[in-house]
Structures are given as C-alpha cells and as structure tokens.
Amino acid sequence: MIIDGKKEAEVLREEIKKEITSIKNKTNKVPGLAVILIGDFVPSQIYVRNKEKSSKEVGINSSVIKYSKDVSEDEILKKIIELNNDKNVSGILVQLPLPDQISKEKVINSIDPLKDVDGFSPTNVGNLASGYDAIVPCTPLGCLMLLKKVEKNLSGKHAVIIGRSNLNGKPIAQLLLKENCTVTITHSKTKNLKEKCLKADILIVAVGLANLVKKDWVKDGSIIIDVGINKQGDKIVGDVSFEEVKDKAKAITPVPGGVGPMTIACLLKNTLECFKKLN
C-alpha cells in the first residue's frame, strides 16, 4: 500500500475549512496566522508561500512579515512580543533557519506557548514529553496521522526512528511512546544501523540522506514513513529507496506526496486549535 499523503492532507484541510466557516458564521471571527520570514533563502520562501496559500484556502487570516537577512535580533523579538499581544493573531511561526546574528533559542523562547503553532517552545516540548496536552510539531503530527490511517492501534509495535532532531526525530519518538510503541532512536553515531532497522515494525526516516534505506534494511510487512526531502538532479527524493522498498513494506509514504503535504495541513490544524483555546 502506498500512503497517499496528498489525499489525506486534502481531507484534513476540508475538515478545517468547514470548522472555520462554521466558527465565522457564529462569531464573525477567524484564526490568524503570522509568519515571520527573514532573508532570501529560496526553500524558506517556497515553504512560506505554500503556508500562506493553504492558510487562505481554509479561511485562516494569514500574514507574512518579511525582513532582510541583516535585521537585528532586537527587532525580531520586539515584533514577536507585539504579535503575542495581538488578539487577531492565534498562531506565530518564525521560519527557520535564521541568520547567524539571531539566536534561534531566544526567538523560540519568546513566542507565547499558546500561539506556538510549530510546537517548538520549551513549554510545548516539555508538555509533549510529559504526556500532557501540547501543541505537537507539524511534521511529527502528520507522520502519526498517516501511520494511524494504516494501523489504528500502534500499541506494542517496535518503532525505529532514524534521526534525532528537535524538529522531527525527538517529537516523533515522544508521540510514538504515547501510543505505547517500543521506540528506538538512531542517529549518525549509531552502530549496526541496518540490523536495527530490520527489527522495525514501523520505520521512520528523517535524516536528509537521499536513498539511505535500501531493500535489505527493512522487515517484510513493516510500515515506512519517509520524512526526507532531498534534491537529486531536478528530482525530489526521500531518504528511502522507494522503488526497491515499496513491495516489501506493508505500507510506505512516497516522496513527494507523502509526509510533505501533511506538514502544512497540520500547521493549519494547530492554528485552528490555538484559536479555539484563545477564544
């Protein structure tokens, strides 16, 4: 089975759109998303454009605040405080990476955790790790939703994650622990990676190495979620050698068209959830 992330994202976006329409009819209010984009890094510009377009399509009032790459840290922190206090803003997202003069830690820490639609603030990270109610980072949430389309009950499954980033690997591990999976987190210093992957009922790959996972790394009947987005010539490929692995897996996400579309749909979901909690 090939997991159709594009279709699932569309279903989720339709649900969100319906709910926002109904809220608007009752209250004349809609969620607001403020995105801060610094500099001229092309992938960030593309991501932000897609976030803005999708937000508008579901009825979220989205604004992009752009700064040149030499903007000061103070100016960004001041803007974040202003957005924290703005009643029309339900979600704040500062697109990463940031230029060197701006501390990622300071920026993330300054966003009101109730408006932190990325789920990056220490409050949300801590709440997720403690098993409390938290805003969950968008890509990990998208991965879990796709997994649940294949298997409702993940309890007792052995999940192996390749990658330990704050953005993906760590929050995915926390989510799967909450689902009662047995979780192994692997990374660049892990020994015998292939053997560990072969034990996985669920394999999540989030490292950014094109075609790292080959056919002889995966167990028959496993579920594979490929978070990688890598440029290879003029093609986008994942971290898994899709063509050779797809017939061995019970289910697998393609790249593109797997996790990617779910990430943006989950950002819209997080923005709506923030709005509901704040209103």
Question: Least CB distance from residue 28 to ligand GUN, whole Å?
Answer: 30
CB neighbour class for 41 (10 Å; exposed up to 12, middle 13-18, buried from 19): middle
For 261, residues 6+ apart whose C-beta sits below 8 A from its C-beta are: 5, 6, 8, 9, 10
For 54, residues 6+ apart whose C-beta sits below 8 A from its C-beta are: 13, 264, 265, 267, 268
> Got the DSSP string for 103-153?
-HHHHHHHS-GGGBTT--SHHHHHHHHHTSS-PPPHHHHHHHHHHHHH-S-
Nearer to ligand GUN, 1 or 81 (CB): 81
CB neighbour class for 138 (10 Å; exposed up to 12, middle 13-18, buried from 19): buried
Q: Is 226 part of the annotated catalytic residue set?
A: no
Q: Hey, what amino acid is at 24? A: K
Nearer to ligand GUN, 142 or 254 (CB): 142
Question: Least CB distance from residue 94 to ligand GUN, whole Å?
Answer: 6
Q: Hey, what amino acid is at 19? A: E
Q: Is 95 part of the annotated catalytic residue set?
A: yes
Q: Is 216 part of the annotated catalytic residue set?
A: no
Three-state DSSP state, 38: strand
Task: Decide: 75 and 44 in contact? Cβ < 8 Å.
Answer: no
Residues numbered 65-124 forming contacts with ligand GUN, rule: CB under 6 A: 93-96, 118
User: Where do we find the tokens 């949430």?
Assistant: 141
Task: Decide: 38 and 76 in contact? Cβ < 8 Å.
Answer: yes
Nearer to ligand GUN, 138 or 249 (CB): 138
Nearer to ligand GUN, 138 or 181 (CB): 138
Question: Least CB distance from residue 97 to ligand GUN, whole Å?
Answer: 7
Count the helix, strand and coil residues of the chain and give each as a percent rounded to the nearest 5.
45, 15, 35
Q: What is the CA radius of gyration of the chain?
A: 19
How many residues line the site for ligand GUN (CB under 6 A)?
Answer: 6
Nearer to ligand GUN, 61 or 165 (CB): 165
Residues numbered 121-150 forming contacts with ligand GUN, rule: CB under 6 A: 138
Catalytic residue among 95, 174, 219, 269: 95
Residue nearest to ligand GUN according to CB distances in the complex: 96
Q: Which of 63, 39, 43, 32 is nearest to 260 (CA)?
A: 43
Q: Which residues are near ligand GUN by CB under 6 A?
A: 93-96, 118, 138
Q: Which residues are catalytic?
A: 51, 95, 118
